[in-house]
Amino acid sequence: MNRIRKGDQVVVTTGNKKIKGQTGEVLRVDGERVYVANLNLVKRHTKPNPQAGQPGGVIEREASIHISNVMLLNPATGKGERVSTKVLENGTRLRVFRSSGEAI
């Protein structure tokens, strides 16, 4: 079970000055890497593709960040916190914050 999923609010813990400490929503999780909305933006030079309806030019989009460099944002404290899993009696897994034990 991944500790970070699509749609989670995360805070970037390490990286360059532009993205460290920033928060955002996870757009997708790709193995060990995550894409966070409006963070770690890169410029990509693309050719036009008329079949797909894509114009050419310089497109700005999100680059991936390693999953170890982000932490789940606790809305109660406003800080990034560690996450663990708790197995319920019926066998389902539940993500909880380690500090408070509160379910996510």
Mind listing the pLDDT tens digit for each residue in 52-102? 998 999 999 999 999 999 999 999 999 999 999 999 999 999 999 999 888
Structure confidence at residue 62 (pLDDT): 95
Residue 1, pLDDT > 80, answer: no
Q: Which tokens in the block code for residue 60?
A: 């700005």
Nearest Cα to Cα of residue 20 among 60, 89, 83, 71? 71
How much is the average pLDDT of 21-50? 95
| Per-residue pLDDT at 2 | 82
Residues composing the chain? 104
Q: How, if at all, do strands 83-87 and 93-97 pair?
A: antiparallel
Q: Whole-prediction pTM value?
A: 0.86
